[in-house]
Structure 1
Amino acid sequence: MNPPSSPSAQAVSGTRYARITGTGSHLPPRRLSNADMAALLAERGLETSDEWIVERTGIRARHFAADGVNASDLALPAAQAALQAAGRTADDVDLIIVATSTPDMVFPSTACILQHKLGANGCAAFDLQAVCSGFVYALTVADSMIRAGAAKCALVVGAEVFSRILDFNDRTTCVLFGDGAGAVVLEASSEPGILATDLHADGKHVGILCVPGTVSGGSVLGDPLLKMDGQAVFKLAVGVLESAARTVLEKAGRTEADLDWLIPHQANIRIMQGTAKKLKMPLDKLVVTVDEHGNTSAASVPLALDSAVRSGRVKRGDTVMLEGVGGGFTWGAVLLDF
């Protein structure tokens, strides 16, 4: 992938847009099939099966990071692949945003740690926390900063090591999540790329998906493992994803018929298919990676996007809808011409 124009050219171009010029992703090598998870849970006296997991979620496998591998370690190869695809180097980057709920440290940000590993020192770098909606939020922030002239070449990353916060005594949640990272390079352009965005949150739903713990005085207070009311999340997700999708289409002056691809948060195949049906999209235009990746939270949308780009499905000129929904409760959508 090559950028539509040089970032420096935008100073004289008129209307300023932001366009994705490269994508990348990375999964840790350790792959656990549903059979592997069933064996792991059996050691704890819990019963599950491939059939049980697939029927409820569509998930067949996920990847777990090795001990000592952090979110920034997964983010680095994803970022490097995106830069290579865009024909850029770390020296070209003037903004780094990492969406993550599983940072390397309390502080500094994972974005600053990634910045050092990339050798992109000096540019603005920060983390964004919106859980599974994180990448959609981060892409929206980067788009706004580019349009405002505060950045020309942004590296936007979603990176998670959710295996560190799973309760392996709860078969209803631990089988759902995996680790991974995805990244895009977003550049200033004279041609429209990101067409419209829409972000929301409703804090009254905090309790349906959360990790209710914190660090204080050198100890963990509360419970540091993921808790989820799956039924409540499912009911809320389908409605808000449809609403956000229709909002960005309206903002951009487009209709469902203009969509070439739908890339939603990869959490549950039934939620994803339900959203596609509400938008009257054929299921072969729905990008699905949840079967092999599980739910990788903020990494799921860029992982799926990169998979679709590198497989040749998503091509230049295609109109793509990205959607996220997650704890907070947060949700949002981005409509773009790729």
Structure 2
Amino acid sequence: MPNTIIIGSGSHIPERIITREHFLNSEFYSDEGELLTKPNAEVIQKFVEITEIENRRYIKDEEHNSDIGFRAAEEAIIDAKINREDLDYIIYASNFGEVDTNGMSNFMPSLSARVKNKLGIKNRNCVNYDMIFGCPGWVEAMILADTIIKAGKAKLILVVGAETLSRVTDPHDRNKMIFADGAGAVVVKASDEENVGIISNKTYCDNDAELMFLENSPSLNKSAEQKTLYIRMHGRKIYEYALKNVPDAIKETIDAANLGIEDIDKILIHQANAKMDYAMISRLFKLYDIKDYDHSIAPMTIQDFGNSSVATIPTMFDLIIKGKMENQSFKKDGNIVFASVGAGMNINAIVYRFPSKK
């Protein structure tokens, strides 16, 4: 049975840097629809203290999701040194599709079809597939790619994660300061090398009482037009859910790989806010009866990039493997974890081992 290894990566970080000053003139409302009376500078400072997000990236008005996904994909294909016509699948993770400047989602044609077109791929046997799975979408797309490769149905797959959350946020919601845009991609290949690549994975889907922890809903400002739906995050419920469930899911995935936490070199975890990520990683180590650990094991990009949803993990992987993230690197033949939690609610994790073959 073949194994799934990453042979190339790419990312696109939008040029527009949105600082805290961008929100100083915003009119924020509470979840109950009441106008906040605290000065915006105070609201923003409290937000930064919790999330650590100082900056985030937005695409330009003339850009779209498939544009930034294409750039990340093109870079990954060049990095992989493959003929793009040899790709068997393109799997594209997103949540809102090709969103225009009015916040309207468009899924037809699909994003995977759009990026295939922009890549100029003529191969009719290259299947395009969109993954709609919340913020864990890119990780789940990797799990799907691994399943397809292990089934012998493909040898080369492009896996993209791209999102433009800046276009689906309520201008009156404080949480809009969390969300950002970005794209990341990898090319994965079937390998005959044993015990490398994706060596274990786990997915949980809790869709009962947790279903609407992340949802689309009208503006918090009841005086504003109420037909347009925006991303709405019930932060406290998500925090409690993630802290309770994500560490266990990661440990189960590590256990399934017959490894311990001491065998894991890096944990690339989806980042919605820094406080939650620190808590989840700390809880994970406590499951192994470890109180103190090297915090560099879980790199963070949220401070400067914000929450770019499905793009966070592949972007971080690309930056680290190319030496573009300060004081971060991957060990040769090392083990890393990809893990995410998001809308659904869905949780997933992968243990990935770098191959020894070049």
Regarding TM over 0.5, the answer is: yes
Task: Say if 1:179 and 1:296, in contact at 8 Å, map to a contact too.
Answer: yes
SS at match of 1:277: helix
Q: Alignment partner of 1:279: what SS?
A: helix
Q: Secondary structure at the match of 1:108?
A: coil
- Where does the alignment leave 5 or more consecutive residues of structure 1 unmatched? 1-14, 214-219
CA distance in 2, matches of 1:243, 1:132: 18
Which range moved further: 202-211 or 125-134? 202-211
Cα displacement string for residues 245-274 of structure 1 (whole angstroms, at most 9, x for unaligned residues): 111111111110100001000111122112
Show the 5 A alignment for 1:171-320: 171=174, 173-191=175-193, 192-204=196-208, 205-212=210-217, 223-280=228-285, 281-311=293-323, 313-320=329-336
Q: Where do residues 1-338 of structure 1 align in structure 2 (5 Å cutoff)?
A: 15-39=1-25, 47-48=40-41, 51-104=45-98, 105-121=106-122, 122=124, 123-171=126-174, 173-191=175-193, 192-204=196-208, 205-212=210-217, 223-280=228-285, 281-311=293-323, 313-338=329-354
Percent identical among aligned pairs is: 29
Contact 2:248–2:284 (8 Å) recurs in 1: no
State the Cα distance separating 1:194 from its structure 2 match: 0.6
Per the TM alignment, residue 48 of structure 1 is displaced from its structure 2 partner at its CA by: 4.1
The separation in 1 between residues aligned to 2:333 and 2:92, in whole angstroms, is 26
* Contact 2:27 2:172 (8 Å CA) reproduced: yes
| TM-score with structure 2 setting the length | 0.84
* Secondary structure of 2:107 counterpart: coil
Q: CA deviation at 1:314?
A: 2.1
The C-alpha deviation readout for 1:273-305, integer Å capped at 9, x for no partner, is 122223334211111111111111111111111
CA distance in 1, matches of 2:140, 2:162: 14
AA at the equivalent of 2:127 = A
Contact 2:265/2:331, CA 8 A, preserved across alignment: no
Query: Displacement of 1:39 after TM fit?
Result: 4.5
Question: SS of the residue aligned with 1:25?
Answer: strand
**Quick one: distance in 2 between partners of 1:316 and 1:68?**
41
**Structure with more helix by fraction:** 1
Q: Is the contact made by 2:64 and 2:164 (CA closer than 8 Å) also made in structure 1?
A: yes
Quick one: distance in 2 between partners of 1:222 and 1:36?
Answer: 25
* Helix, strand or coil at the partner of 1:136: helix
Counterpart code for 2:337: M
Q: Residues of 2 paired with 1:89 and 1:125: CA distance?
A: 17
Distance across 2 between alignment mates of 1:315 and 1:79: 24
**CA offsets 1:31-53 (integer angstroms, 9 cap, x no match):** 101222334558x9871455322
SS at match of 1:101: coil
Q: Which amino acid aligns with 1:318?
A: G
